[in-house]
């Protein structure tokens, strides 16, 4: 990748100029749904991000979950950096907790339920600990009432860990 | 990576000759523990590999788990390729299923328990469906008796999916 990046850099501004209009055009034709209050969108490529930890949520939600983070997030976790730096993005994927069809004692992901996102931007989200929140169902943001609940809970329960519940599972 | 690989190939046999003794020397000074029967070792960098799916295992093991795969594995999953190609590696990380200290309905990873590995090499492991197995506790391989149980169960229960239990969670 380093060689490839260098090649791109060496090619210089002409490449950048060629790429930017194409990206802007794609965004214009397929606008991304943003969460109420925070304007958080589903980040590109998050499904390939590194795992922070799995989790389980009991009934009534009854879910298996996995929290992944972008490179900034993972570096901060591994170095024990608190608060998380600006640019940190955490994504929680959730699925219905479902009996494995092949193995009696195992449970596995069923239908996908929500994708929930935290984005660190200490200036933009100064009023909510530096975090913006997004909760999506089938790619569509949940309503404003749901987004009004995010910050109060994170603030009340995990203020000592920069408002992040999930610990890195080694 | 492709450019880097091509550069290495272009440099030819002299590079290969130079690298092999160095690797052999590293291996000699820090020998990797290999699983009985299969000779499977814990792959470098697996903790950064992409998530295939989380899972839960009920009592008595009582674990939260996450299965990750190398690039070959993820490409095969996403393309629906069966059997998995040679070079596929799957790693299952497992932790004790533990009550979240901050959120009543959530469970989170506790102490790490096992790391379990499947490696596809259709020639080397022809007698076991093309798969080699490794089960590690604290980085040390489990005993031969435990490794004798792997293949029978995979063969009996998931022969129709190339002996792999875990499905990709979208």
Tens digits of residue pLDDT in B107-129 = 999 999 999 999 999 999 999 99
Residue B138 is predicted with a pLDDT of 96
Average pLDDT over chain B reads: 87
Structure-model confidence comparison of residues A2 and B146, the more confident one: B146
Residue A23 is predicted with a pLDDT of 41
Task: List, as own/partner pairs, every contact residues B144-153 make where C-beta atoms lie below 8 angstroms and the sequence separation is at least 24, other chains included.
Answer: B144/B36, B144/B37, B147/B35, B147/B36, B147/B37, B147/B38, B148/B37
| Distance (Å, whole) CA B49 – CA A38 | 30
By Cβ distance, the residue of B50, B61, B107 closest to A56 is: B107
Question: How much is the ipTM here?
Answer: 0.82
Give the pLDDT band of residue B32 (cuts 50, 70, 90).
confident
Q: Which chain B residue has the Cα nearest residue A102?
A: B157
Instruction: Look at A30-44, A119-133, B3-17, B152-166 and tell me which has the smallest mean pLDDT.
Output: B3-17
Cβ contact, residue pair B66, A93, below 8 Å: no
B→A contacts (Cβ < 8 Å), by residue, are 1-4, 7, 47-48, 50-51, 53-59, 61, 64-66, 68, 74, 93, 95, 97, 100, 102-103, 105-109, 112, 157-158, 165-167, 169-170
What the block records as the tokens of B44 is 């470098």
Residue A32 is predicted with a pLDDT of 79
B74-102 average pLDDT score: 98
Residue A169 is predicted with a pLDDT of 98
Instruction: Calculate how close chain A gets to B87, using CA atoms only, in Å.
Output: 19
Which residues have C-beta within 8 Å of that of residue B139, sequence separation ≥ 6?
B33, B42, B115
Residue A1 is predicted with a pLDDT of 36
pLDDT over 80 (residue B16):
no
Spell out the domain ranges in chain B.
2-161
Give CATH superfamily name and number for A2-161.
Cytochrome P460 (3.50.70.20)
pTM of the model: 0.83
B46-67 average pLDDT score: 98
- Residues of chain A under the 50 pLDDT cut: 1-27
């Amino acid at each position: 990748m380093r060689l490839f990046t260098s090649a791109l850099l060496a090619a210089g501004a002409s490449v950048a100029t060629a790429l930017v209009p194409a990206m802007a055009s794609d965004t214009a034709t397929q606008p991304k749904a943003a969460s109420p209050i925070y304007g958080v969108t589903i980040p590109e490529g998050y499904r390939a991000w590194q795992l922070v930890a799995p989790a389980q949520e009991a009934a009534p939600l009854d879910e298996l979950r996995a929290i992944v983070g972008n490179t900034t997030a993972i570096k901060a976790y591994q170095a024990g950096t608190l608060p998380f730096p600006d640019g940190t993005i955490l994504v929680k994927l959730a699925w219905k907790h479902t009996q494995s069809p092949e193995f009696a004692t195992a449970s596995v992901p069923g239908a996908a339920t929500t994708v929930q996102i935290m984005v660190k931007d200490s200036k933009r989200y100064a009023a909510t600990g530096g975090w913006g929140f997004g909760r999506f169902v089938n790619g569509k943001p949940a309503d404003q009432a749901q987004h009004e609940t995010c910050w109060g809970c994170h603030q009340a329960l995990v203020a000592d860990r920069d408002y992040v519940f999930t610990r890195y599972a080694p």
